[in-house]
Amino acid sequence: MRKLAPVTKKLLAPLAASIALFAASAPFSSNVDAQAATTLKAPIYGVTLDDLSNLSAIITSLSKLPYRPTVRVVFDPGTSAAEYYPSLVKLHAVANVMGEIMDSYYFPTDINTYTARTKELVNGLNGTVDVWEIANEINGEWLRQNPNGTNSVVNSEETQIGQMVAAASSIVKAAGGKTAVTLYYNDDSKGNNCWEKPQDYWKTWPTTFLPASVRQSVDYALFSYYPYQDCPGLSPSWSNDFTALEGIFPNAKVGFGEIGTSSTGAPASVQTGLIKTYYPMVNSFKDPKFVGGFFWWYYAEEMVPYTKTYWSTLDQTIAPLKVPQ
């Protein structure tokens, strides 16, 4: 989501007990040659987990959804792959997993940090992650050190960010994994935008700052869309926008990598409206490359346990939709 102000990003709670439980049965793996890179069945019904502290209730709620979901796990800096591994084993038993190497909230960073983190996660979580999100909201101005810098400064910093994505792509692809790139939807091509600089425009950022080889190899090209307060006033033409996205990433499936609001305090009518509007696109949208996704941001906070109202809304919304195949 657009990071205009501090938002809630919960670190993984201590996992000492879980790690001890799994020490004998789920050995830490450093073999990067056998990633869990099976093609995800479509449509993808995704949710985001930025907090795994209530893991048992999370797993119960996921297992009760109509179809096997895909969970996008936000990996927090400072929490090791070894700490995540026991939880990922459990999650992968009930859901597909997309691993978000570094949420845009944790930028700015540098290529050495990003490369090292990618290697650690890919090596350490072998067999538990189906898709690696190597770039999250990568065209957001908040990812650079100087959001309002001169053109030369902005171009230099965005070039460095593009190099980080390219390095992460090489690591994941060398390990046999699949990649996803999420762009922040910040311009509707109708004269409405919320970008800070023209360089941030989702249509031009990838072709300017990502090598063609990376764009050719991406498996999933996704939009992050936050129309309430974060980036309001846009009037998307999703058919045209996804066609444009497919032109940028010609070998990728397309969809949404993140939807929601930047606060759990957003009106229930807004949040319910987003769920009921976007998840059903898997039935109504005819683009053969469109796989859905959506990945509602506040799943852990708003839909766990499964007795919560928003979980029921998601459950009832998904139930009549297409079966993944």
Tens-place pLDDT, residues 64-81: 999 999 999 999 999 999
Handedness of CA 255, 257, 262, 263 (dihedral sign): positive
pLDDT computed for residue 39 by the predictor: 82
The CA distances from residue 26 to 8, 51, 72, 124, in Å, are: 31, 21, 21, 12
Tens-place pLDDT, residues 214-223: 999 999 999 9
Model-level pTM?
A: 0.91
- Of 13-22, 200-209, 259-268, where does mean pLDDT reach its minimum? 13-22
pLDDT computed for residue 9 by the predictor: 38
- d(CA 216, CA 203) in angstroms, rounded, equals 15
Answer whether residue 250 shows pLDDT above 60: yes
Tokens 């029921």 belong to which residue? 312
